[in-house]
Structure 1
């Protein structure tokens, strides 16, 4: 019931709010360990853009026995990160944990990289269980800073595009330099009532 009503019950990353305005927040996130899989959606059943989700969910044991060398069950956390080479795919990520994040960028071939952020207890990549599936890569991301806008409802392509453009304009106006492509974060499962969903768009800044 909590999921349907938009309640977020999984671990979410800590961050420091550096600046807060009526239009956006500037947040600094600490280093984290992630599990990642890269795939071509056209090679997935039905052209599924979220085909990597099952691979990663199997790794942590979210569905069945954990597919890692120690059979260690890893808690679902937030966010799930999806990096797409096709901006049109940006609003297609599923959100079983909080949030699902989609990075949009242009490219000739659509390729998706999906990431699970592992629990905070894993401080280094080598501390995380080793995947059985060689498509799953464990790595560490360093500290990063983002401009962030929060919104509710369905994160459709059009809505996301508008939010990203508005955020980009606001950041530029205040002198922040954007240094990468956007991320779309969705904090709720797809069956959550739309008006109770929490979504965010991120733009990395210097």
Structure 2
């Protein structure tokens, strides 16, 4: 079943040990602001309400993966990426005013993956590993860290896929361009 769920399109540029540098295509996300990191259940329900018909046309929109949550930001958000078949004009307006649709431009991101439950300890550990790997390569962070969870809650921990991701700024030379 997990293979049938659409994920954001990207191309892997290269790896730095356990860290992948990826080039993501533009996308559209439905976003809601969380009062803090403890508001994830309410945020998920608001976003799920939107895709399950809580919108101006009553239309159901396919679930995608991952569920994305900002980390360590002054404005914690949760986001679902909309299926790539939609453009902004085709998407219905959310009925819940705390859900907004935003265009996310193409971007370069650094990603580290881990399995199991996304506990606070694991999130801290992998966030630090990602920061360290980027610092060692003098790669600038260009956004907030995000936790990306790909599986439904009933997935056994050993089969769960999680990622810590952050947008980065790469110069042409650091991308390996020779032109």
Shorter-chain TM-score: which interval?
0.7 to 0.9
Give the alignment's TM-score, normalised by structure 1.
0.75
1:53 aligns with 2:44: yes
Label 1:136 to 1:48 Cα distance change in 2 as closer, same or farther (>3 A).
Answer: closer
Residue 59 of structure 2 is aligned to residue 72 of structure 1 = yes
Which has more strand, going by share of residues? Answer: 2
Q: In the alignment, is the contact (CA less than 8 A) between 2:147 and 2:162 conserved in 1? A: yes
RMSD of aligned alpha carbons: 1.9
Which residue is equivalent to 2:158? 195
- 1:147-182: CA deviation from partner (whole Å, max 9, x where unpaired): 111111121111111111111111111221112221
Q: How many residues align?
A: 169
Q: How far apart are the structure 1 equivalents of 2:73 and 2:97?
A: 27
| Native 8 Å contact 1:103 1:184 kept in 2 | yes
Could you list the runs of 5+ residues in structure 1 that have no partner in the other structure? 79-98
CA distance in 1, matches of 2:127, 2:36: 24
**In structure 2, C-alpha distance between the alignment counterparts of 1:163 and 1:8, rounded to whole Å:** 25
Query: Is the alpha carbon distance of 1:106 and 1:58 closer, same or farther for their aligned partners in structure 2, counting shifts above 3 Å?
Result: closer
TM-score normalised to the size of structure 2? Answer: 0.85
Gaps of 5+ in 2: 170-179
Correspondence for 1:24: 19
Cα 1:55–1:196 shift into 2, 3 Å: same
Q: How far, CA to CA, are the matches of 1:8 and 1:182 in structure 2? A: 25
